[in-house]
Chains A and B, each alone.
Chain A
Amino acid sequence: MSPPILSVENLVVAYGRVEAVRGVSFHADAGSLVTLVGANGAGKTSILNAIAGLVRPRSGHVRYAGKDVTRRAAHRLVSDGLVQVPEGRLILGTLTVEENLQLGGWQRRSTQAASIEEMYQRFPLLAERRALVAGALSGGEQQMLAIARALVALPTVLLMDEPSMGLAPKVVDEVFRVIAQIRASGTTVVLVEQNARRALRAADYGYVLETGQVAHEGPASELLTDPRVVEAYLGLE
C-alpha cells in the first residue's frame, strides 16, 4: 500500500499558554475523505490551520506527498496542492465573483482560465453572477464560491473547515453533493464539521477529537453507530 498523501504526527498547537491541540496524529490516504469531528474548542480548526501553514505548531510534524512540510509557508503549500476552504468562507466581498476565482488560481496561471470555465459549468449560478461583487451573494452562494475558489488552485488535498455552517438545510445538501463530486474526481478531502452525522455519512474514515486529542477513530460507518460517539456528538435521533 502506498503511504498516505497527508499525515500528521503528534501535532501540538498552542496559543500562549493554552494548548488547543495536544499531540494529535492522523492521516489521509490519497483519494479518501477523512473527517475530523468533535465539540467546540476540540482543536479542529487549529489542526487545519497548522496543516495549511497559517499557524505555527509548537511541535509535531505534517507530512504531505512524502515530504515534511511542517513549517512551510502557506502560499507555498497552495502551489504544492494543499488548499484550504476556510471557516466562515472568507470570500473577498468587495471583489467580483470572477476576481475571487482568479485569485484562487493565482499560482496556476497556465490553467487558471480553463479551471474558472470549468467552475462556471459546475456552478452555473456563479457563471450568472460572475460580474457581481461576491458580498452580494447569499450565504449558500458564497460557500459555493469559496469551494470553487479553492478548486481553481487545483488541490491534491482539500482542507474544508465547516462548509455547512450557517446554511439552510437544502443548501447543506447541495454542499455535501459537491463534496462527494470533489472526492469522486480523485481529490483527497479532509473535512472538519460540526454536523458530525452528515460528515461521517460522507466520509471513509473519521477521527473524533476531544479537548485537543483524538478520542476515537475508525471507519466512518462504525463511528456512526458507536454509542460513545452518538451520545457525545451526534445526539439522539
Chain B
Amino acid sequence: MSGFLDSYASTITFMALTGVFAYSFYAVLMAGQLSLAQAGLASAAAFTSSLVVPAEPLFGVIPRLVVGIAVGMTVGAALAFLLGLPVMRLRGVFLAIATLAFGEVVRILLINQSWTGGAEGLSFPKLVGIPQAWLALAVVAYWFWRLGGSRLGRALAAIREDELAAKAMGIDVTRHRMMSFVTSGAVAGLYGVLLAHFVRFADPNAFGFSTAVEGLVTAVVGGTALFIGPLLGSVFLTALPELQRAIGVEAGWIRPFVSGLMLLLVILFLPGGLAALIPHRPGRVGHPDALPDLPPLPAAGTPIASLRAIRKDYGGVHAVHDVDLDIAASEIVGLIGPNGAGKTTLINIVSGLVPPTSGEGTVVGIPVGSGVPAHRIALAGVSRTFQQIKLFDRLSALDNVLVGAHRVSRPTLLRRLILLPSARRDERLALAQAFAQLTRVGLADRARQAAGDLPYGDQRRLEIARALAAHPTLLILDEPAAGMNHVEAHRLSVLIRGLADDGVTILLIEHNVRMVLETCTRVVVLDFGEVIAAGDPATVARDPRVVEAYLGAEDDGAESA
C-alpha cells in the first residue's frame, strides 16, 4: 500500500487539488453563474500567502499551512466581493468575459510586482502532501453536501432555474448571487495556497486562462447539480492518463487523444455530468406529522392593498391610466379585460416587479413605488403565479414548493454543518408545509416528478402550490385556468374559494369568464389601462361597456347553439 502511495503520491495529491479547484466553479455554477475569475483569485491568494506564512508555527501551535490557508481564503473571498460589486449585474457570457478579464488583470499585475518574483516566480515551502490535500477536499465537499439540502442551497438552485420566480418567492437574488461568488473566491483561494505549497514553486503565468478552463471542465464533467460532481470530475480527469500508462498505452499523442475522447463522450451523453450516473435516491417524503406554526392572516375586511391614481407609461403608451384599486382581506377580486388592457402591468406594480410612473398607495403596508425590491414585498406576504409559467423546471415538484416555503422556513445551513437535530426538524417542517400545499392542489402523487415534465395544467397548479407555501396574505393568480377545461377550471374555482375561506386574499386575472363569475366576490374590468366597470360579478357581466370591450357577442359561458 505504501509503495502504491509513494509511486502515485503526486497524482493522488493533484487529484484532490483539482477537486478543490473544481468546487470553486461548482459554487457559482450551482447558482447559474459562469465565472472564470477563479484562476486569478487563486493566484492572488497564493502569492499573498507567501508574505504571511511564518517560518515556525504561529504562537508555537498554529501550523504554518493553516495561517496560509486562512489568509488565502480571506484574500480570495475579499477580492471576489470587490469584483462582484460591479459585475454582479451581468449574466451569462458577459459575466464570463468580465471575470476572465479580471483574471488577466491579476496575472499582469502580479507579474510586474517584485514581491511575487515576477515572471521568474517564487519558491514556497513544501507544506502540502496527500493528507493535507485530501483533508481540504473532504472539508470543501462536506460543505457543499450540507449546503445542497439546506434552505440556502434550494434558494441558489431556484436562482439558477429562474431569477424572477426566485425573487417572487422572497429570495434576495443579488445577495445570494454575491454569496455564491464570495464562496467561490474563498475556495479558489484555498486551492491557490494548497497548490503553491505542494509544487513548491509558482509564477503568475501558471494561473492563466487555461487553468480556469481546466477547472471549469472538471466541474462540468463531474456534474454541477450534485455536490459529488467536482470530486468525480477530478478523479476521472486526473486518473485517466495514469490508467492509460498503467495498462501500457504509449506516451505521445495517444494519451491526450483518449482523454479528449472520453471527455467528449461524457459531455455528449451525460449532460448532467458523471454525477448523473449515481442512482437517484428518492428522498423521503415523510408524512407531514406537524405543520409549522404560521402567523394568523389578517381578519376579513382588513385593508390589504389600496392604490390611488396609479399610472404606468411605456414610452408614451399608457399601459395603466389612473387606476384606483382597493382590496380587503378574504376578498376574491377578479381582474378582467381584453389582452393588452394592462392587467399584467397592474399586478406587476402590486407585486413590486415594476414601479408605477405616478400614483400612490400601499400593498400589505408597504408604500407602492418606494423602491422596495420585489423580494421584500414577497417576504411581507405577497405571493404570485405567472401568466407565462415560471417554474424551476429541473427541480422536482416538491422542491419547487419547498422554495416557495422560503418565507416561512428558517435557514438551516449552519446547523446542518454541525449536524444539529434541530436543522432536521426545521427541514421536516418545511417539507410538511410543502407537501400539504401539493396535496391542497391535488399534486401529491407528482411530488417527485421534475416540474418541467408535468403537463401544462399541472404546471399551473404547481405554481399555485408554490405560491401558497409562502403562507401569503395576498395571493395573485395570473390566468391560473389557462390550459384547463371547464371541469378542471371548476375544481380550481372551488380551491380558490376554499383559500379565501381560510383567510387568504386573492387577486385573480382570468379569461375564463364563467370561472371568474363563479369564483370572485368582486370584479374589476380594465380596458386600455382604465377601469371601465367594477362591482359584483353578475352586474359587471351585464354591463354593456364590458360586453362591448371584452365579452363580445358570443360569451364563452352562454350556450348559443
On A, residues with C-beta under 8 Å from B are 15-16, 18, 20, 37-41, 45, 87-88, 138-141, 162, 165-173, 194-198, 201, 224, 232-235, 237
- Asked if B289 is an interface residue, CB under 8 A from chain A, the answer is no
Smallest distance from the beta carbon of A170 to chain B beta carbons, Å? Answer: 3
Beta-carbon contact of B487 and A232 below 8 Å: yes
14 CB < 8 A contacts A-B: A18-B449, A40-B483, A41-B457, A87-B456, A138-B339, A162-B483, A171-B339, A194-B483, A196-B485, A197-B559, A198-B556, A201-B561, A232-B487, A235-B487
Which residues of the other chain, A, contact B561 by a CB distance below 8 angstroms?
201, 224
Cα distance, A170 to B483, chains bound together (Å): 18
Shortest CB-to-CB span from A166 to chain B, Å, is 5
B:450-491 near A, CB below 8 Å: 453-458, 479, 482-490
Given A39-B488, A162-B483, A237-B559, 13 more pairs with CB closer than 8 A: A20-B455, A38-B485, A39-B485, A39-B487, A138-B340, A140-B340, A166-B511, A167-B511, A168-B511, A169-B554, A173-B554, A234-B486, A235-B489
- Give the segment of B158-166, B497-505, B545-553 that binds chain A: B545-553
**Which of these, A173, A197, A232, contacts B552 with CB under 8 Å?**
A173
Partner of B550, one of A40, A166, A170, A195: A170
Q: Given A15-B453, A169-B550, A232-B487, does the pair A40, B339 have CB atoms closer than 8 Å?
A: no
Does A170 contact B551, Cβ atoms closer than 8 Å?
A: yes
Which A residue's beta carbon lies closest to that of B554?
Answer: A173
Contact A170 B486, CB 8 Å, known A40-B457, A138-B339: no
Which residues of A are found within 8 Å of B338, using beta-carbon distances? 138, 140, 168, 170-171
User: For residue B340, which residue of chain A has the nearest CB?
Assistant: A138
The answer, among A39, A40, A169, for a CB contact under 8 Å with B556, is A169
B302 within 8 A of A: no
Closest to A41 in B: B455
Complex: how many Å from CA A30 to CA B388?
35
Q: Is the CB of B339 within 8 A of A140?
A: yes
B residues within 8 A CB of A20? Answer: 455
Docked CA distance A15–B453 (Å): 8
The answer for the CA separation of A141 and B340 in the assembled complex, in Å, is: 10
Contacts known (A165-B482, A165-B483); A172 close to B556, Cβ less than 8 A: yes
Interface check B337, CB cutoff 8 A: yes
CB distance from B335 to the nearest CB of A (A): 12
Residue of B nearest to A193 (CB): B485
* Cβ A40 vs Cβ B458 within 8 A: yes
| Contact flags B151-181 to A (C-beta < 8 A → 1, else 0) | 0000000000000000000000000000000
Interface of B is mostly: loop
Alpha-carbon distance between A144 and B87 when the two chains are bound, in angstroms: 41
The 9 A-B pairs at the shortest CB distance, nearest first, are namely A40-B457, A138-B340, A170-B552, A235-B486, A139-B339, A41-B455, A138-B339, A168-B338, A140-B339
Instruction: Determine if B485 and A169 form an interchain contact, defined as CB atoms under 8 angstroms apart.
Output: no
| Residues of chain A contacted by B488 (CB below 8 angstroms) | 39-40, 194
Q: Report the minimum CB–CB distance from B88 to chain A (whole Å).
A: 25
Distance in angstroms from B163 CB to nearest chain A CB is: 18
CA distance A225 to B231 in the complex (A): 63
Cβ distance A113 to chain B, nearest Cβ, rounded Å? 29
In the complex, the chain A residue whose C-beta lies closest to that of B551 is A169
B555 at the interface (CB under 8 A from A): yes
Query: Is there a chain A Cβ closer than 8 Å to B370's Cβ?
Result: no
Q: For residue B510, which residue of chain A has the nearest CB?
A: A166
Main secondary structure on A side of the interface with B: mixed
Among B337, B339, B387, B490, chain A packs the most CB atoms within 10 A around the CB of: B339
Considering only residues 507-561 of chain B, those with a C-beta below 8 Å from chain A are 511, 513-514, 549-557, 559, 561
Task: Look across to chain B and name the residue whose beta carbon is closest to the beta carbon of A200.
Answer: B561
**Alpha-carbon gap, A140 to B338, bound state (A):** 9
- List of B residues within 8 angstroms of A140 by Cβ: 338-340
Q: Mark B431-461, 1 if CB is under 8 A from A, else 0.
A: 0000000000000000001000111111000
Chain B residue contacts of A15, Cβ below 8 A = 453
Chain B residues lying within 8 Å of A165, measured Cβ to Cβ, are: 482-483
CA distance A37 to B488 in the complex (A): 13
Chain B, residues 328-344, CB within 8 Å of chain A (1/0): the string is 00000000111110000
Is there contact, CB below 8 Å, between A40 and B484? yes
In the bound complex, how far is the Cα of B484 from the Cα of A234, in angstroms? 11
With CB as the reference atom, state the residue of chain A lying closest to B388.
Answer: A88
CB distance from A232 to the nearest CB of B (A): 6
In the complex, the answer to whether B511 meets A45 with C-beta atoms within 8 Å is no
- C-alpha gap A195/B486 in the complex (Å): 7
Residues of A within 8 A of B556 (CB): 169, 172, 195, 198
CB distance B485 to A37 under 8 Å? yes
Contact indicator B337/A173 (Cβ below 8 Å): no
**A29 to chain B: closest CB distance in Å?**
23
Task: Give the Cβ gap from A224 to chain B, nearest Cβ, in Å.
Answer: 7
* Residues of B contacting A235 in the complex (Cβ-Cβ under 8 angstroms): 485-487, 489-490, 514
Q: How far is the CB of A55 from chain B (nearest CB, A)?
A: 12
B457 touches A166 (CB 8 A): no
Alpha-carbon gap, A178 to B338, bound state (A): 18
Give chain A residues whose Cβ lies under 8 Å from the Cβ of B482.
165-166
Give CA–CA (A215, B255) in the complex, Å: 59
Q: What 1/0 mask marks residues of chain B from 349 to 371 whose CB sits below 8 Å from any chain A CB?
A: 00000000000000000000000
CB distance from A4 to the nearest CB of B (A): 26
Is the beta-carbon distance between A40 and B479 smaller than 8 angstroms? no
CA distance A169 to B310 in the complex (A): 26
Complex CA gap A237/B486 in Å reads 10
Say yes or no: B339 contacts A168, CB within 8 Å: yes
Give Cα A224–Cα B556 distance, bound, in whole angstroms.
15
Structural contact, B486 and A168, CB atoms closer than 8 A: no
Q: Are A233 and B337 neighbours in the complex by a CB distance under 8 Å? A: no
CA distance A166 to B509 in the complex (A): 10
